[in-house]
Amino acid sequence: MAAPIAYSLIATDLDGTLLRGDDTLSDRSLAALARVADYGARHLVVTGRPAPRVRPLLDDLGSRGLAVCGQGAQVYDAGADRLLWSVTLDRELAETALGKIEAEVGEVYAAVDQDGVDGLTLIEPGYLMPHPTLPAVRVGRRDDLWCEPISKVLLRHPELSDDQLAATARSVVGSLATVTMSGPGTVELQPCGITKATGLALAADHLGLGPDRTIAFGDMPNDIPMFDWAAHGVAMANAHPELKAVADEITLSNEDDGIAVVLEKLFR
């Protein structure tokens, strides 16, 4: 079957979007994505998770193709288990950015995702993983976070909301890094200029596709660049207000198979 004229590339975030709250995929979502493949369209995961934390989910999807990971800092080839492209966050710049943020808001707790297909997630004392199912290695002090190249820094504040922390970070970090908010308890610093859109554009070009045939699904402000790039952006019912404000469409929540609802209409 030929793909419907509207979309040949389906770009989906994971947490709060394609995945349910328990990090699982529903049978309905899997069936909808299989239907997309039957029509010849491509599904591309575009997530803040680093490549090593995405690999098991791609196995569940039966995907041996590409995935955009680390907020766009990595384009991962699941079939070859290698990074086609990656960019790291300069560790000195990361330390400087953290210092500027803490000068404004007091102590924050930090974690890092190391670069590479086998990179670890390291967390300093006091940092709590927003997704307890994701593996992480606790280190003894902050200096230990910088032992290997990193793709991003994750921040949490003991009192400020994510919106407050992200807003303050953006106001002081400047060109040192890109600040994103990708989920509850997840404010991040990534290489300057890197977003989900930059990674998505690279992966789409590799597939011979472009924004005019792309529909994107997401739930958080870090998905805004992806919506700006794609022809059509669909926010989940549980999405952050900032994303809903720029979405072309709002579907049901991730718990109610919101992606499947849209895909079933497009790929009848």
| pLDDT value at 200 more than 90 | yes
Q: Dihedral through CA 145, CA 185, CA 134, CA 29, nearest 10? A: -140
**Domain boundary residue, one of 190, 223, 242:** 190
- pLDDT tens digit string along 166-192? 999 999 999 999 999 988 888 999 999
Judge if 76 and 200 occupy the same domain.
yes
Domain boundary among 141, 166, 190: 190
Last-in-domain residue among 174, 190, 206: 190
In this prediction, residue 59 carries a pLDDT of 87
Return the CATH number at 74: 3.40.50.1000
128-132, 166-170, 264-268: segment of lowest average pLDDT: 128-132
CA angle 172, 177, 178 (to 5 degrees): 95
Rounded Cα–Cα distance for residues 199 and 263 (Å): 23
Is 2 part of a structural domain of the chain?
no
Residue 173 · residue 188 · CB < 8 Å: no
Q: How far is CA 179 from CA 21, 97, 234, in A?
A: 24, 10, 22
Pull the structure tokens for residue 82: 């290698």
Mean pLDDT of 44-71: 92
The pLDDT of residue 268 is 84
**Is 227 a member of any domain?**
yes
Whether residues 115 and 158 share a domain: the answer is: yes
Give yes or no: residues 81 and 203 share one domain: yes
Measured in degrees and rounded to the nearest 5, phi and psi for residue 189 equal -115, 130
Tell me, yes or no, whether 200 and 82 share the same domain: yes
**pLDDT tops 80 at residue 4:** no
Position 231 pLDDT exceeds 70: yes
Residue 4 lies in a domain: no
Q: Does pLDDT of 134 surpass 90?
A: no
First vs last C-alpha separation in the chain:
11
pLDDT of residue 5: 55
Q: What is the enclosing helix (H) or strand (E) of 245?
A: helix 241-246
Same domain, yes or no: 56 and 28: yes
CA R_g for the chain: 18
**What string of DSSP letters covers 104-151?**
HH---EEEEEESSTTPPEEE-TT---SSTTS--EE-SSGGGGGSS-EE
Question: Higher model confidence: residue 268 or residue 176?
Answer: 176
Q: What's the mean pLDDT when you consider all of the chain? A: 94
Residues 111, 183 within the same domain: yes
Q: In whole angstroms, what is the distance from residue 186 CA to residue 156 CA?
A: 7
**E strands, the chain, in order:** 9-12, 42-46, 66-69, 74-77, 82-86, 109-114, 121-123, 137-138, 150-156, 178-183, 186-190, 214-218, 232-235, 249-250
Q: Is residue 180 part of a domain?
A: yes
Could you report the per-residue pLDDT of 74-107, keeping only the tens digit for each?
999 999 999 999 999 999 999 999 999 999 999 9
Range of the domain at 39: 9-86+194-266
175 assigned to some structural domain = yes
Residues 104 and 124 in one domain: yes
Length of the chain: 268
Q: Mean pLDDT over residues 59-76, rounded?
A: 93
CB-CB neighbours of 169 under 10 Å: 26
Q: Does residue 246 share a domain with residue 203?
A: yes
CA angle, 190 as apex, 188 and 196 as ends, to 5°?
A: 90
Residues 200, 180 within the same domain: no
What is the pLDDT at residue 183? 82
Q: What is the model's pTM?
A: 0.94
pLDDT at 38 over 90: yes
CA-closest candidate to residue 167, choices 176, 184, 179: 179
| Count of domains for the chain | 2
Q: Give the whole-angstrom CA distance, residue 227 versus residue 243.
A: 9
Task: Please indicate, yes or no, if residue 208 is contained in any of the structural domains.
Answer: yes
Same structural domain, 70 and 113: no
The rounded distance, in Å, linking the Cα atoms of 144 and 30 is: 40
